[in-house]
Amino acid sequence: MATEPRGNDSPASWAVPSRTARFAGEPQDVTGARLAAEEFLRALTRVTPPAAPECWHDIVLIVTELASNAVQYAPGPFVLHLRPTFDGVHVTLHDTNPTAPAPRPFHPDAGGGGIGWHLIHTLCSQVSVVSADEGKDVHVFLPW
DSSP assignment string, 72-121 = HHS-S-EEEEEEE-SSEEEEEEEES--SPP------TTT-S---HHHHHH
Cα separation of 37 and 19, whole Å? 9
The answer to whether the beta carbons of residues 96 and 76 sit under 8 Å apart is yes
The answer to whether the beta carbons of residues 33 and 21 sit under 8 Å apart is yes
Look at residue 10 in the predicted model and tell me its pLDDT.
45
Cα separation of 105 and 125, whole Å? 22
pLDDT, tens digit, 9 for 90 and up, residues 78-129? 999 999 998 899 999 999 999 999 888 877 777 667 788 999 999 999 999 9
pLDDT, tens digit, 9 for 90 and up, residues 1-51? 544 444 444 454 456 789 999 999 999 999 999 999 999 999 999 999 999
pTM (two decimals): 0.86
